[in-house]
Chains A and B, each alone.
Chain A
Amino acid sequence: DARVTQTPRHKVTEMGQEVTMRCQPILGHNTVFWYRQTMMQGLELLAYFRNRAPLDDSGMPKDRFSAEMPDATLATLKIQPSEPRDSAVYFCASGLTGGGGITGELFFGEGSRLTVL
């Protein structure tokens, strides 16, 4: 049963600490998305990659957030330094992109719930 795997599922940290969230996309998927969800803002698109290359990270605070895909099986989202306002659930999603973009399903992981004290 193919699924997107995210770690950690829960993270509590103190302000100023570095946080790294990891995502293993579904094998064979070539597009990966990072979303952030809060009660106030809903689901916000932070960044996405195609074939490991960053296509758009305009939704991501540049000064403290960074997203990478070291290889096709791993995507990372790093926050340094973390702040209380970063508390949210971070979702990773993957899909298969053809010539015209993703035509079907986007598969989401279960999310990483981050609490910054």
Chain B
Amino acid sequence: DAKTTQPTSMDCAEGRAANLPCNHSTISGNEYVYWYRQIHSQGPQYIIHGLKNNETNEMASLIITEDRKSSTLILPHATLRDTAVYYCIVRDLAHNFNKFYFGSGTKLNVKP
């Protein structure tokens, strides 16, 4: 039931910014954009979420386009430990209540 489209994989050089895109062209006004990542053999880890405005925390920045049909997760200085599968998820807090549906995600390979 994922409503997002992400590239299957991306490469990034260590120390450079990693920009992970996500398309959510059918997003509605009530839906938030969430990003999680899953490092090999571990449980998924929350990164960031937003509704309309750009957001930044200690892990990443989230840039949401003005029409909200796409977003980009930015890891400003990627390290080898950032190699993981990154999931972009949209959630309607009011109607889809608590469900988090994970799509296929983007496998980010950070290379030395």
Number of cross-chain contacts by CB at 8 Å: 58
Chain B, 21-48, CB within 8 A of any chain A CB: 32, 36, 41-46
Q: How far is the CA of A48 from the CA of B99 in the complex (A)?
A: 8
Partner of B98, one of A31, A108, A111: A31
CB distance A107 to B93 under 8 Å?
no
Q: How many residues of A contact B (CB 8 A)?
A: 27
CB distance A104 to B46 under 8 Å?
yes
A71 an interface residue at 8 Å Cβ cutoff?
A: no
User: How near does chain B come to A27, taking the closest CB pair, in angstroms?
Assistant: 18
A56 an interface residue at 8 Å Cβ cutoff?
A: yes
Chain A, 93-117, CB within 8 A of any chain B CB: 93, 95, 97, 100-111
Q: How far is the CA of A93 from the CA of B38 in the complex (A)?
A: 13
Chain A, 64-110, CB within 8 A of any chain B CB: 91, 93, 95, 97, 100-110
| Per-residue interface assignment for chain B, residues 96 to 112, with 1 indicating a CB less than 8 Å from any chain A CB and 0 otherwise | 11111111110000000
CB distance B43 to A111 under 8 Å?
yes
Shortest Cβ distance from B96 into A: residue: A101
B68 an interface residue at 8 Å Cβ cutoff?
A: no
CB distance B103 to A42 under 8 Å?
yes
Residues of B within 8 A of A91 (CB): 43-44
CB distance A43 to B102 under 8 Å?
yes
Which residues of B are interface residues toward A (Cβ below 8 A)? 32, 36, 41-46, 49, 87, 91, 93-94, 96-105
14 additional A-B residue pairs with CB within 8 Å, beyond A43-B44, A101-B96: A4-B43, A33-B100, A42-B102, A42-B103, A45-B99, A45-B101, A56-B99, A93-B44, A93-B100, A95-B98, A101-B93, A102-B100, A110-B42, A111-B43
Offer 10 A-B interface pairs, CB within 8 angstroms, sorted by A.
A42-B103, A43-B44, A45-B99, A45-B101, A56-B99, A95-B98, A101-B97, A103-B93, A104-B46, A108-B43
